[in-house]
Structure 1
Amino acid sequence: MSHDNSTKEYSISDLAEEFDVTTRTIRFYEDKGMIHPERRGQTRVFLARDRVRLKLILRGKRLGFTLKEICEIIDMYDDVAGEKGQLNLLLEKIKIRRTELEEKRRDLDAAEQELIEVEGRISARMKELGLS
Structure 2
Amino acid sequence: MDKLLTVTELAEAFSVTPRTIRFYETKGLISPQRVGSTRVYTYRDRARLKLILRAKRLGFSLMDIREYLDLYNVDPEQIEQQRLLLAKVTRRIEELEQQQEDLAATLDELRDIEQQAMSNIKKKSAAMDESA
Choose from 36, 39, 49 the match for 2:34: 39
**1:105 and 2:105 matched:** no
Distance in 2 between the 1:8 and 1:112 partners? 50
- Stretches of 4+ moved more than 6 A in 1? none
* Count, aligned residues: 127
**What are structure 1's unaligned runs of at least 5 residues?**
1-5
Higher relative contact order (CA 8 A, sep 6+): 2
**Secondary structure class of the residue paired with 1:36:** coil
1:13 aligned to 2:8?
A: yes
Partner deviation per Cα, 1:21-65 (whole Å, 9 max, x = no partner):
000110111111111111111100111111111111111100100
Equivalent residue, structure 1, for 2:117: 122
Larger Rg: 2
Aligned residue number for residue 69 of structure 2: 74
Q: CA RMSD in A?
A: 1.5
CA distance in 2, matches of 1:59, 1:52: 11
How much does 1:8 deviate?
A: 2.1
Identity between Structure 1 and Structure 2 (%): 46
Cα distance in structure 2, aligned partners of 1:14 and 1:127? 60
Q: Quick one: distance in 1 between partners of 2:107 and 2:3?
A: 50
In structure 2, stretches of 5+ residues that fail to align are: none
Give the TM-score normalised by structure 2.
0.90
Q: Is the 8 A contact 1:36 1:50 kept in 2?
A: yes
- Counterpart contact for 1:76–1:82, Cα < 8 Å: no
Matches of 1:112 and 1:80, distance apart in 2: 45
**Greater percentage in helix:** 2
Residue identity matched to 1:92: A
Any idea what SS the aligned residue of 2:78 has?
helix
Letter in 1 for 2:96: L
3-state SS, counterpart of residue 120 of structure 1? helix
